[in-house]
Structure 1
Amino acid sequence: METKFNIRNLFEAFIIILIIADLVMLMLITFTSVSYSIFVSVIYFDLMVCIILFFDFIHRMRKETDKKQFIKRNWPDIIAMIPFDIFALNPTYVFFARFLRIFRLARLFALFRREWKYISSFFKQTHINFAFGMLLFTLFAGTIIFYIVENGSNPSIHSFWDALWFTVTTMVAGNSNISPATYDGEAISVFMMLIGVSFVGVLTASLASWLMSKSKKTEDEREERIKNIETSLQDIKKEITELSDLLKKE
């Protein structure tokens, strides 16, 4: 049996990626100082995510028979899809910035809760805890060490974010528009490149395998339902035949 990707499974994976990105960006503007242009970009990205979550929530609710029970069970999703931060773009609401930050923290918790069950299920099924941990460790440790080594020697490294940009692009793409200026920086970049290429490939393969297994499970369930229907039809046909024979005898 040929297994194909299920559109719903692909959409769930897309939702997980969007929410993780949204979580990172919201934490960035919550706990660090960023330029206004970056702040506005994060707000509009968050608005897009909220719109997608809203339509996904409506789609899932329409499939449920007990709507009230569904809302009661998934009430944090309602908090997760409310774009509180859009009010921060209006100067009239600057006074409420502190309250908006509290609501943002509540949304961070709701978003995390919204997708944690999918992320934990993904880790359990694919066993990529080590690969994901190695990528995170390399990302943070590599950024800090590269910044310490290159700061003052590399004219392209002006801040910690420059070092982070170098680390991310090196790990994901294998190269960066920032070049190391020291031998230590070159050694670190080679190490990050090897770790990134190796473990990003593992994550990609694991994600593909996870989607395939979910699609296969969906197809198996569909085939099982078809078999049950066929069995029921055969039973009905047999009962009709027996009833017909009894009527003929009478």
Structure 2
Amino acid sequence: MSFYQNSKFNYFLSILIIIDLILITLTLISDVGENLYFSIIVFDTALCIILFIDFFTRLSDSDDKKHFLIKNWTELIAAIPFDLIMLPFVLNGSLLRVFKVLKFIKVIALFSQFFETIDFFLKKTHLDEIFGITLLVVLASTLGLYLFDPSINSLFDSLWFVLSTITTVGYGDILPQSGAGKIIGLITLIVGVLIFSTVTGAIASYFARRILMNEDFNITENDDNIEHLKDTLKSNKKNLYEVHSKVYKIDHDVESLKKEIRELKELNKELKEEIEILNENLKN
């Protein structure tokens, strides 16, 4: 597996993208100090370098490079350091509007890159479906309160109440007064509790599955080691059997040699006796 396909790298990259999104959005909606702005440029440029390396590494590994470019062209936009490139024009005050448009485009591209990076995690945990349901509930509740509760003066007040309710924070600064508004608020509160418990359960289930997968992998690896050890023992047993057979054969050969030596000794003894008899006869 390539380093850039590693899940830990993807999680790390997601964190960097979130930080960069917050920093770039901050420069869009408010005036930041010069020192902070240059720090943001350094951070954004470093992230762009990582994104460029990641993009072209995956491009070189891709079998269909044309399809890869069509599918992931937004990643290339996200990897362009617009702040660094446009810095001279921003300092001179020219092309400021163009610069802000480019930064807004980069924010969108970074959002796309972020969701592509965590796409596998979202699908495995079904958080994409949960976020979709949450967005639908927020929109429906916001419009319902605004339309049916006269005490809600604006869409922003309605959205503020829905968000504070669905997150179970409940500041209490804005409250529905009509019966329909209270019912919508109650439904929103119940949905919020269900959503957060579902999110918690989905994330816990995902990591539990990851742990079980790692344990299964370790068990499989241990089983493979045990099988290898069994094969080694069988091979050693076979070798020991062959050595034992050879030793047995050598013992048998030694016994045969001992027997032959005894026979030769007996024969030698008999020859000596015959020689002595012959010598006696010759003397006589």
Q: Shorter-chain-normalised TM-score: which range? A: 0.5 to 0.7
Gaps of 5+ in 1: 1-7, 59-66
Aligned pair count reads: 214
Per-residue CA distance 1:40-87 (angstroms, 9 max, x = gap): 9xx97xx69x96xx69x99xxxxxxxx956863599597597484755
Listed one character per residue, the Cα deviations across residues 135-185 of structure 1 (whole Å, up to 9, x for unaligned) are: 22111111233344567x45xx6662x433322221122523432152243
Q: 1:192: which partner in 2?
A: 188
1:28-47 equivalences under 5 Å are: 35-36=29-30
What is the TM-score when the length of structure 2 is the normalising length? 0.54
Give the Cα separation in 1 of the matches to 2:106 and 2:20.
Answer: 14
Q: Report the equivalent of 1:107.
A: 110
Q: Secondary structure at the match of 2:118?
A: helix
Match of 1:167 in 2: 162
Query: Relative CO higher for 1 or 2, CA cutoff 8 Å, sep ≥ 6?
Result: 1
Identity of aligned residues (%): 15
| 1:203 alignment partner, one of 162, 180, 199 | 199
**AA at the equivalent of 1:118:** F
The 2-side partners of 1:89 and 1:186 are apart by 51
* Aligned residues of 1:80 and 1:108 also touching (Cα < 8 A): no
Instruction: Tell me, in whole angstroms, the C-alpha distance in 1 between the residues paired with 2:221 and 2:77.
Output: 35
Matches within 5 A, 1:53-68: none
Q: Which runs of 5+ in 2 are unaligned?
A: 1-5, 63-67, 247-284
Q: Distance in 1 between matches of 2:11 and 2:149?
A: 36
Go from structure 1 to structure 2 and tell me whether the alpha carbon gap of 1:24 and 1:102 turns closer, same or farther (over 3 Å shift): closer
Q: Give the aligned partner of residue 245 of structure 2.
A: 249
**CA 1:211 to 1:138, structure 2 compared with 1: closer, same or farther past 3 Å?**
same
CA contact (8 A) 2:78 2:109 kept: no
Q: Please tell me whether residue 120 in structure 1 is matched to residue 132 in structure 2.
A: no
2:133 aligned partner, one-letter code:
M
Do structure 1's residue 72 and structure 2's residue 61 form an aligned pair? yes
TM-score (norm 1): 0.60
Rg larger in 1 or in 2?
2
Contact 1:19–1:111 (CA under 8 A) maintained in structure 2 = no
Equivalent-residue separation in structure 1 for 2:169 and 2:224 (angstroms) = 52
